[in-house]
Chains A and B, each alone.
Chain A
Amino acid sequence: MDINGACIKIILDGSLGVSSAEPSRCFRQQLPNNQEILLKRIIIFCALFCVACAMTAQAKTDVYGKGVTLTEATAVSAILDNPDTYLGKMVRVEGMIIEVCAKRGCWMYVAGDRQGEKIQVKVTDGEIVFPMSASGRMGVVEGVVEELKLSRDEMIKYQQHLAEEKGQPFDPSTVKDERMIRLIGLGAEIEG
Chain B
Amino acid sequence: MKWRKWNIIIHRDLGYLCFGLTILYVISGVAVNHIHDWNPTYKIEKSMVEVDLSAVDPADDRALTSAVLGQLGETGELKNIYRQDAQTLKIFVVNNNITVDLVNSNVFQEKSNQRPLLYQANFLHLNHAKKLWTWFADLYAVCLGLLAISGILILKGRKGLSGRGKWLVGVGFLAPIFFLWLYS
Where the two chains meet, the residues of A that have a C-beta atom closer than 8 Å to any C-beta of B are: 53, 96, 98, 102-104, 111, 115-116, 126, 129, 132-133, 135-138, 166-168
Contacts and interface: CB of A to CB of B under 8 A. Distances in A.
A126 B84 contact: no
Contacts, number: 49
Contact of B126 (A115, A126, A138): A126
Contacts of B93: 136
16 contacts: A53-B132, A96-B80, A98-B82, A98-B84, A98-B90, A102-B42, A102-B44, A115-B83, A116-B84, A133-B95, A135-B97, A136-B79, A136-B92, A137-B79, A167-B44, A168-B46
The DSSP consensus for interface residues of chain B is strand
Contacts of B92: 135-137
B145 to A, nearest CB: 22
Contact of A133 (B83, B94, B132): B94
B159 interface: no
Contacts of A102: 39, 42, 44, 110, 112
A55 B126 CA distance: 22
A59 B64 CA distance: 33
Interface string B36-61: 00010010101000000000000000
B10 to A, nearest CB: 16
Given A98-B90, A136-B80, A136-B93, 7 more contacts: A102-B44, A115-B83, A116-B84, A133-B94, A137-B92, A167-B44, A167-B46
B: interface residue count bin: 20 to 34
A65 B83 CA distance: 29
Interface of B: 35, 39, 42, 44, 46, 79-80, 82-85, 90, 92-95, 97, 108, 110, 112, 126-128, 132
B84 A132 contact: no
**Interface residues of chain A: helix, strand, loop or mixed (majority):** loop
Most A CB within 10 A of own CB, among B46, B79, B95, B126: B79
Nearest to B99: A168
Contacts of A116: 84-85
A140 to B, nearest CB: 15
A118 to B, nearest CB: 8
A103 B97 contact: no
Contacts of B112: 102, 132-133
Given A103-B39, A126-B126, A137 B80 contact: yes
A108 to B, nearest CB: 12
A96 B90 CA distance: 11
A53 B132 CA distance: 10
B128 A129 contact: yes
